[in-house]
Each structure stands twice: as C-alpha cells, then as structure tokens.
Structure 1
C-alpha cells in the first residue's frame, strides 16, 4: 500500500491487519487503513475488491477473522454495531413506509427518549440542511429516489454519529441524479464535518467528493492519497487503469488525453515539454473518430505493431486536423506516469487502450463475493 500523505493527523478510524475469508475467497488480506478525523474518504474498487467488506468491518456488520478496528481511540473490534456510534446509509435504504419523512428522521432520537422539543428542533434543522424542509409530512413513496437518500442521510445524522458510513448510497439512481447528489453530498460534508467513509465503484464519484481515496484490489489497498495524487501519480498499473482510460505507447501506459496527434511528426512533437521520454513519435492509422461533446476520441492502430489504442483530443484540435478514417497521423505521449517496471498484462507495445485497462481493472470481479 502507498499513502502519499504522511502528515501527522488525528485518525478517527484505524484498521490494523484486518483479514476476512469467505470459504476460499479472501475478502480482506491483512488490510491496514486509517481515516483522518473530519475527512471524507472513498473506498474505491471493482466488485470483489473488498471495499464493502472493509466498510462492514468498520460498522461491525462483519467480524474480521483477525485484526482490530478502532474508532476515536476505542477498540471496537468486538463491540456490536449499535454501540459503535456510527450512522449507516445503504444503497437501498429501508425507510419506515408508514411514517412521514419527519418521523423517519426522528426515529432514532425517539427511541433514545430525547425530549420532544429537542427532537423537533433537531429534525427541523436536519430537514433544512438536506433540503427537505418542505417535505416533512410526505411519506417515502411520495419522494423521488434522490429525496429518499437525502432523508436517509438526515436520519443517520440525527443521532450525532461519530462516523458516517455510506455504502454506494447513490448506486441505484440514474446518472444525472447521482451527479447532482454527489455535489450536494460534498456541500453537506463541508457543513457538518462528520468523519465519513464512502464505498463506491464509480471513479468520477470518488474523484468528485472525496478528500482521500483508497483504491482496493483483491482484498488489498493498493494506494491511498488525495484524488489528484492517485490520478496523477498512480502507484500501480491497476490504480491507473481503474481511475480512467489508458492507452499504451512505446511500452508505456499513458492517458488518452496525454497523447498528442499531428498530421506530421513535427506537429506531434510541437507543444511538448521536450524531454527524452516524451519525444517518441509513433505513426498510426485513424480507425474511427467519435465526437463526445466537447472532446473527441480518436481510435488508432499503430503502424509499427498493429496494436489498437485511443487518443482523446479537443474539439478544436479535431476540427483543425480534419481527421478521417484511414488517415495517417503521428502521435506521441506528452506525459508518462512513473510506474513499476513489472506492471503486468498492461505492458507490451501499443494495443492496451481503454478496453484492456478496463479488463484489467475488472479482473477481481469474478464470483459472487462481497465487494
């Protein structure tokens, strides 16, 4: 595991040497993991990577076979979930269908026998915070999916949890609603400052909302760092490929948007940093040009190896180049991340492209095991 942030901070959650096996499947392989107080940390990885198992171990819903879990300095490894001081929101939140939004949010406070005035004030404040103050008398079936998840978060926050655990809370919603809710979640976190752990397989969601991202694969944490660190300085080929599309040029993994395309070698070199590692020009044939809004994906085949790869260029560059299927172009990588020399199946000439990167990232997805 690589953690690019070594600054001393207070850790709200500390997991040490957590190991969990389901039959022959190792869900957590001696995981060490810490969450700084007040942060929003995302657990990111494909199905079967161990991210949900790690979250459930923190919550007390799954017991690790060995290892410890500490919350705010207290060993809670053998403590039941209801005594850990956590708020939990699942992908499919089980609301009380016969209770109004107000009563759903107030439920945890009422069973703790808080004074009525305190309950009303707390619920009113939370409904305002999550943007449901005008919906307090509605029932769950009268809310949209996004509104139900806002209600779920308000209910989890009502009991003042020490930590908030979110297990793919927006996974069942459509893409536009998810995009709106993740921006809202970031604003909510900045307002309430509750230590939060978010499980997601959505790279954009993790990059958008998290202070830190832990990337998991096959029950291990491959890297922990800020969104910028894990994207720009990946610790492994898996991290790089899982956090976005990749292509291979001259045996190096590169991002498609870091590939410059020109009609001649001089155009491919122009505008680069001039370093030796960035001047290797490859002649290629255009297979397809796909307009993706303000960007254009250019699917290419290397003249030298016959391998397929992809470049991502701006709409303006594409219009200036006037690319057509069958055109000969020259390409080069403008930026090459530093990766271990033995980065496995993604290495080896042009032809890895985004598709092979996705295949590598999904290698841990086989089997119906917890994520």
Structure 2
C-alpha cells in the first residue's frame, strides 16, 4: 500500500500539488491521469523521493518514507526516455542493479534470464541498446527496474515517445506483465485510452488536486464532475448537456425509438441537426453534426452497420437524441489547465 497524505508542492506561486491525499492498494496498477501541469508527474516523483514535498507525507508498506532517499525506498523507476548504458549489452544492463547490490553470479544469471523471458527479450541478451527498437528498449528498462524486486514500480509516461502501434502493443504487454509479477505499479499518463486499457484504478488530477479516483468503468460511466467526464473519453454537448458520442442516437425520423420504459421523446429532447461530415474510423463511424436551432457543433458515434443503413451524407437533415445522460453538477465545462513554464506535469 502506498499512502500519500496532504501532499503539497509549490514552484514559486504555482501549486503543483495542493493537499493531495491518495491510497494506492498493494498489487494494483494505478494510473495518474491528467493534462499537462495537473501535478501527476510531481506526485509520482514525490512518491519516488525525487521531489521534496513542502508538506504532507508518503508511506510505502506502512513505512514513512517522506524524508528517505530514493535509493532506500525500494522502488523501480522507468522514465519516458530511458538512459540505458550504451556500452553494455542487454544482459549487463538488466543485471546492473543486482551487481551493485553484490548478488551472487548464479543468482544474477538466473534472475536476468527469467526477466528477459518475461519481457520477451530472450535471445537478445548480447545485443546493445542501439540494436534494439524503441519498444524493446522500454521492455529492457522495465526488466532492469524489476530485477531488484522492488516493492513499487513507478512509470513516468514510459511509452510516450513511441508510435501509436507500438504503444498499443506495449500497453497490452504491460498489463500481462503486471498480472504475472503483481508488483504495485503507478503509471503516469495523459493518454486516456492508455489509462482505461491498462489500469485497475485511475486517479484523475487537475490543477494540483485529485478530481476522482476509482476503477476505469466507474469513472467513465459515473464521472464526479464535468472535468472528469470531459477528460476521460470524448464528449459532445447536446441541448446543454454533456453526453458521450456513442450515447447519441441519430435517425431520419423525429419519432426515434425510446431507450427505456416510461420515457417519451419530449422528455429526452430531439435535436434537428445537419450532417456536416461522415468520418469512417475503422470499425466505427463519427458523424459530425450542427444543431440547426443553436448552431452548436457536436458529434455522434455510430456503427458501420447503422451508418450504412441510414445512408448518411453531408448536408442532410437528421434527428438526434441522447440515450444516456450522466448525472453531473450543473456548471460550465471546466477548461483544461495550460502547463505553466515552471511546473512539472
């Protein structure tokens, strides 16, 4: 268990962490998600001991480590740009921490072989970092971090510098790795899809505060406020309410089917809209629309089958309604904070 209590960190007049309290269960994979400048990297670095808090405490497995050096916190850390030893082979890079701790040669050999197999680098032992792809270097970095059996694994945007296909593959691989090794893991990301795909729990940060913590499905389906909903997945504004694009039903007839017993078309509201663009995104179709009454633009997400059945084309008039509207506080959509020049994410 990692417990952060009342954490505060200021950079001049900017509050990177503003009284943050967070519990991270043992064995979980928790994502710290938020825009640039939200405090997620500052929080991760504070857990690691790489940032000194101005106030508050950090405990790991019941031990107060607030004033303990990073080397004595029993953590593994992987950055976005991992600084491997270029003159060392993959095997020697992974073994480095074990050699520093003066482990026996047999133990080192066994541990390195085991980890290289786990991370899918068996057979790459004698290559050098320059001979690996970006994804392979990050897997080597994770093997090196895990070699010393840390209590906690901290990942700071580990896949951010990689292309989309490699990131997707490594997300799947990381989830499988976590299920195998069960080390308590904290992942910093600004990628909502990455957090939803990988994490057991997500903590959404904004302007140095935690907005909501919980399982991905809870945050997506039951966001605590408009910021969480707007940041965790796409949103559309329909008749003054935030809805998910996949919860918007469109058709050519204003008497659209009612989603639930007892509802009427009038109670949910039907919007007359003009189709501005139809975008095919693989297995789904995004329909960009303009509200004919207000001029507001919004998008609906439909299946390829529904799109083909409707035969949608630009300039046509359709009718839209929300089939599900989250219960959010009545206030304007929060603006995503810009990252100050002196702040860490």
Counterpart check, 1:334 vs 2:323: yes
Q: 1:214: which partner in 2?
A: 203
- Tell me if the contact between 1:269 and 1:332 (Cα under 8 Å) persists in the aligned partners: no
Cα-Cα RMSD: 1.4
Secondary structure of 1:269's aligned partner: coil
Counterpart check, 1:13 vs 2:5: no
Provide closer, same or farther for how the CA distance between residues 365 and 273 of structure 1 changes in structure 2, counting only shifts above 3 A.
Answer: farther
Between Structure 1 and Structure 2, how many residues are aligned?
A: 344
Provide closer, same or farther for how the CA distance between residues 228 and 315 of structure 1 changes in structure 2, counting only shifts above 3 A.
Answer: same
Counterpart check, 1:252 vs 2:226: no
**Normalising by structure 1, what TM-score?**
0.90
Shift of 1:286: 1.2
Shift of 1:345: 3.7
- Tell me if the contact between 2:7 and 2:20 (Cα under 8 Å) persists in the aligned partners: yes
Provide closer, same or farther for how the CA distance between residues 32 and 133 of structure 1 changes in structure 2, counting only shifts above 3 A.
Answer: same
Provide the C-alpha distance between the structure 1 equivalents of 2:92 and 2:133, rounded to a whole number of angstroms: 18
Q: 2:108: which partner in 1?
A: 119
- Give unmatched runs, 5+ long, in structure 1: 1-11, 347-359
The 5 A counterparts of 1:1-371 are 12-266=1-255, 268-271=256-259, 274-275=262-263, 279-342=268-331, 344-345=332-333, 360=335, 362-371=336-345
Provide the C-alpha distance between the structure 1 equivalents of 2:262 and 2:311, rounded to a whole number of angstroms: 26
Shift of 1:364: 3.6
Provide closer, same or farther for how the CA distance between residues 14 and 140 of structure 1 changes in structure 2, counting only shifts above 3 A.
Answer: same
- Tell me if the contact between 1:21 and 1:28 (Cα under 8 Å) persists in the aligned partners: yes
Shift of 1:270: 4.5
Q: 1:3: which partner in 2?
A: none
Shift of 1:296: 1.2
Secondary structure of 2:68's aligned partner: coil
Provide the C-alpha distance between the structure 2 equivalents of 1:251 and 1:67, rounded to a whole number of angstroms: 40
- Tell me if the contact between 2:152 and 2:183 (Cα under 8 Å) persists in the aligned partners: yes
**Normalising by structure 2, what TM-score?**
0.97
Moved more, 304-313 or 213-222: 304-313
Provide the C-alpha distance between the structure 2 equivalents of 1:273 and 1:172, rounded to a whole number of angstroms: 48
Moved more, 131-140 or 301-310: 301-310
Provide the C-alpha distance between the structure 1 equivalents of 2:126 and 2:261, rounded to a whole number of angstroms: 61
Cα deviations by residue, 1:77-109 (Å, 9 ceiling, x for unpaired)? 000000000000000111111111001000000
Secondary structure of 2:337's aligned partner: helix
Shift of 1:363: 2.7
Shift of 1:291: 1.3
- Tell me if the contact between 1:273 and 1:334 (Cα under 8 Å) persists in the aligned partners: no
Provide the C-alpha distance between the structure 1 equivalents of 2:215 and 2:198, rounded to a whole number of angstroms: 11
Shift of 1:279: 2.8
Secondary structure of 1:26's aligned partner: strand
Provide the C-alpha distance between the structure 2 equivalents of 1:278 and 1:169, rounded to a whole number of angstroms: 47
Provide the C-alpha distance between the structure 2 equivalents of 1:143 and 1:42, rounded to a whole number of angstroms: 27
- Tell me if the contact between 1:284 and 1:331 (Cα under 8 Å) persists in the aligned partners: yes
Shift of 1:269: 3.1
Secondary structure of 2:136's aligned partner: helix
- Tell me if the contact between 1:278 and 1:334 (Cα under 8 Å) persists in the aligned partners: no
Shift of 1:301: 1.1
Provide the C-alpha distance between the structure 1 equivalents of 2:173 and 2:293, rounded to a whole number of angstroms: 48
